[in-house]
Chains A and B, each alone.
Chain A
Amino acid sequence: MTGPSIGPPPSDPAERPAGTPRAEAGTRPAFLPNEVDPTVFDEAFLRQLERLLLLMRSPVRGGLKGGRRSVKRGQSVEFADYRDYTMGDDLRQLDWNVYARLERLFVKLFVEEEDVTVTLLIDASASMAAGTPGKLLFAKRAAAALGYIGLASEDRVAVTALSGRTARRRTALRGSGRVFRLLADLSAIDPAEGPTDLLAAARHAGAQLHGRGIVILLSDLLDPSADKVIRELAATGSELIVMHVLSPDELDPALEGDLRLVDSETGEGIDVTVDLATVDAYKARLAAWKADLADLAAKRRASYVDLSSDQNLADLMFAELRRRRVLG
Chain B
Amino acid sequence: MPFISPLALAGLLFIPAVIAMYLLKLRRDQAVVPSTLLWSRLLTDVEANAPWQRLRRSLLLLVQLLLVLALVLLAARPFLERPAGLARDIVLVMDTSASMGATDVAPNRLAAARDAAMAALKDLPTGGKVSVIAADRTARIVVNETTDLSRVRQAIDDLRPAPTRGDLGDALELASKLATRSGEAQILVATDAALSTPPTVKVSAPVKVLPVGRDRKNQAIVALAVRTAPSAVTRSVFISIANVDLERADRRIELWGDDRLLEARDVTLEAQARADVVIDDVPNDVGTVEARLVSRDPSVTTPDQLAVDDHAWAVLPTTRTRLVLVVGEGDPYLETALSYLPSVELYGVAPKDYGASTQRTDGRPWDLTIFEGYLPATLPTTPILAIAPPSSGPLGQVTGTLKDPGIGSLDPAEPILRYVDLSTTHISAAQQLTTPDWARTVIPGPKGSPLLYTGVRAGLPTAVLAFEPRRSDLPLQVAFPILLSNLTGELLGGSTAPTDAVAPGSPVSLQVPAGATGLTVTRPDGTTTELVPSLASGSAVTYALTDLPGIYTVTPTGLVAASPAPSGGAGPTPRPSAASSGGPSASPPLVVDPSTPVRFAVDLFDLGESSIAPGSPGAIEALGATAVVPGASAAPGSPVAERPTTRDELWIPIVLIVLVGLCIEWAIYHRDAVIRVRRSLSGALRRRPDGGTA
Tell me whether A and B are bound partners: yes
Q: B1-38 vs A: 1/0 string, CB under 8 Å?
A: 00000000000000000000000001011111111111
- In the complex formed, the residue of B with least CB distance to A271 is B28
Does B151 interact with chain A (Cβ within 8 Å)? no
Tell me whether A131 and B34 are in contact (CB under 8 A).
yes
15 contacts between A and B (CB under 8 A): A127-B34, A127-B35, A224-B37, A258-B28, A258-B29, A262-B31, A263-B33, A263-B35, A265-B34, A266-B36, A270-B40, A275-B671, A276-B672, A277-B671, A277-B672
CB-defined contacts of A278 to chain B, threshold 8 Å: 42
Tell me whether A250 and B34 are in contact (CB under 8 A).
yes
CB-defined contacts of A272 to chain B, threshold 8 Å: 39, 42-43
Give the complex CA separation of A266 and B34 in angstroms: 10
- In the complex formed, the residue of A with least CB distance to B44 is A285
Give the complex CA separation of A228 and B165 in angstroms: 102
Give the complex CA separation of A247 and B38 in angstroms: 14
Does A23 interact with chain B (Cβ within 8 Å)? no
With A250-B34, A259-B29, A271-B28 already in contact, 17 other A-B pairs whose C-beta atoms are closer than 8 Å: A130-B32, A130-B33, A255-B31, A257-B29, A258-B28, A260-B28, A260-B30, A261-B31, A262-B32, A263-B36, A264-B33, A266-B36, A268-B36, A270-B43, A276-B672, A277-B672, A277-B675
We find that the number of chain A residues with CB closer than 8 angstroms to chain B is: 39
Does B46 interact with chain A (Cβ within 8 Å)? yes
Tell me whether A276 and B38 are in contact (CB under 8 A).
no
Q: A259-B29, A260-B28, A282-B39 are in contact. Are A276 and B34 (CB under 8 A)?
A: no
CB-defined contacts of B40 to chain A, threshold 8 Å: 270
Which one of A247, A257, A261 contacts B36 once the chains associate, using CB atoms below 8 Å? A261
Tell me whether A289 and B38 are in contact (CB under 8 A).
yes
Does A269 interact with chain B (Cβ within 8 Å)? yes
CB-defined contacts of B31 to chain A, threshold 8 Å: 255, 259-262
Interface residues of B in 550-602 (CB under 8 A from A): none
Q: Could you count the A-B residue pairs with CB atoms below 8 Å apart for me: how many are there? A: 92
CB-defined contacts of A316 to chain B, threshold 8 Å: none
Does A256 interact with chain B (Cβ within 8 Å)? yes
Q: A257-B29, A260-B28, A281-B45 are in contact. Are A276 and B676 (CB under 8 A)?
A: yes
Give the complex CA separation of A276 and B678 in angstroms: 12
Give the complex CA separation of A2 and B35 in angstroms: 19
Interface residues of A in 268-318 (CB under 8 A from B): 268-273, 275-278, 281-282, 285-286, 289
Does B447 interact with chain A (Cβ within 8 Å)? no
Does A71 interact with chain B (Cβ within 8 Å)? no
Does B260 interact with chain A (Cβ within 8 Å)? no
Interface residues of B in 657-694 (CB under 8 A from A): 671-672, 675-676
Give the complex CA separation of A223 and B40 in angstroms: 12
CB-defined contacts of B33 to chain A, threshold 8 Å: 130, 250, 253, 261-264
Tell me whether B42 and A222 are in contact (CB under 8 A).
no
CB-defined contacts of A286 to chain B, threshold 8 Å: 38
Give the complex CA separation of A263 and B31 in angstroms: 9
CB-defined contacts of A222 to chain B, threshold 8 Å: 34-35, 37-38
Give the complex CA separation of A130 and B671 in angstroms: 30
Tell me whether A261 and B26 are in contact (CB under 8 A).
no
Q: Nearest Cβ in chain B — how far from A215, in angstroms?
A: 23
Does A190 interact with chain B (Cβ within 8 Å)? no
Which one of B26, B34, B36, B41 contacts A220 once the chains associate, using CB atoms below 8 Å? B34
CB-defined contacts of A264 to chain B, threshold 8 Å: 32-35
Q: A223-252 vs B: 1/0 string, CB under 8 Å?
A: 110000000000000000000000100100
Tell me whether B29 and A269 are in contact (CB under 8 A).
no
Give the complex CA separation of A44 and B647 in angstroms: 92
CB-defined contacts of A271 to chain B, threshold 8 Å: 26, 28
CB-defined contacts of B672 to chain A, threshold 8 Å: 256, 275-277
Give the complex CA separation of A220 and B34 in angstroms: 9
Give the complex CA separation of A264 and B37 in angstroms: 11
Tell me whether A258 and B26 are in contact (CB under 8 A).
yes
Which one of B39, B45, B46, B671 contacts A261 once the chains associate, using CB atoms below 8 Å? B39
Q: What 10 A-B pairs are tightest by C-beta distance, nearest first?
A: A222-B35, A130-B34, A276-B672, A127-B34, A260-B28, A263-B36, A127-B35, A258-B28, A262-B32, A258-B26
- In the complex formed, the residue of A with least CB distance to B35 is A222
Give the complex CA separation of A289 and B57 in angstroms: 25
CB-defined contacts of A135 to chain B, threshold 8 Å: 34
CB-defined contacts of A128 to chain B, threshold 8 Å: 34
Give the complex CA separation of A277 and B673 in angstroms: 11
Q: B461-490 vs A: 1/0 string, CB under 8 Å?
A: 000000000000000000000000000000
Give the complex CA separation of A247 and B671 in angstroms: 27
Q: Nearest Cβ in chain A — how far from B25, in angstroms?
A: 9
Q: B33-76 vs A: 1/0 string, CB under 8 Å?
A: 11111111111011000000000010000000000000000000
Q: Nearest Cβ in chain A — how far from B48, in angstroms?
A: 12
Give the complex CA separation of A183 and B42 in angstroms: 39
CB-defined contacts of B38 to chain A, threshold 8 Å: 222, 282, 285-286, 289
Interface residues of B in 527-565 (CB under 8 A from A): none
Q: Nearest Cβ in chain A — how far from B242, in angstroms?
A: 73
Q: Which of B39, B40, B45, B675 has the most CB of A within 10 A?
A: B39
Tell me whether A223 and B37 are in contact (CB under 8 A).
yes
Q: Nearest Cβ in chain A — how far from B46, in angstroms?
A: 7
Give the complex CA separation of A163 and B77 in angstroms: 70
CB-defined contacts of A266 to chain B, threshold 8 Å: 36
Q: Which of B32, B43, B57 has the most CB of A within 10 A?
A: B32
Give the complex CA separation of A223 and B29 in angstroms: 25
Q: B96-138 vs A: 1/0 string, CB under 8 Å?
A: 0000000000000000000000000000000000000000000
Q: A186-221 vs B: 1/0 string, CB under 8 Å?
A: 000000000000000000000000000000000010
CB-defined contacts of B41 to chain A, threshold 8 Å: 285, 289
CB-defined contacts of B42 to chain A, threshold 8 Å: 272, 278, 281-282, 285
Give the complex CA separation of A224 and B32 in angstroms: 19
CB-defined contacts of B43 to chain A, threshold 8 Å: 270, 272
CB-defined contacts of A276 to chain B, threshold 8 Å: 671-672, 675-676
Tell me whether A269 and B671 are in contact (CB under 8 A).
no
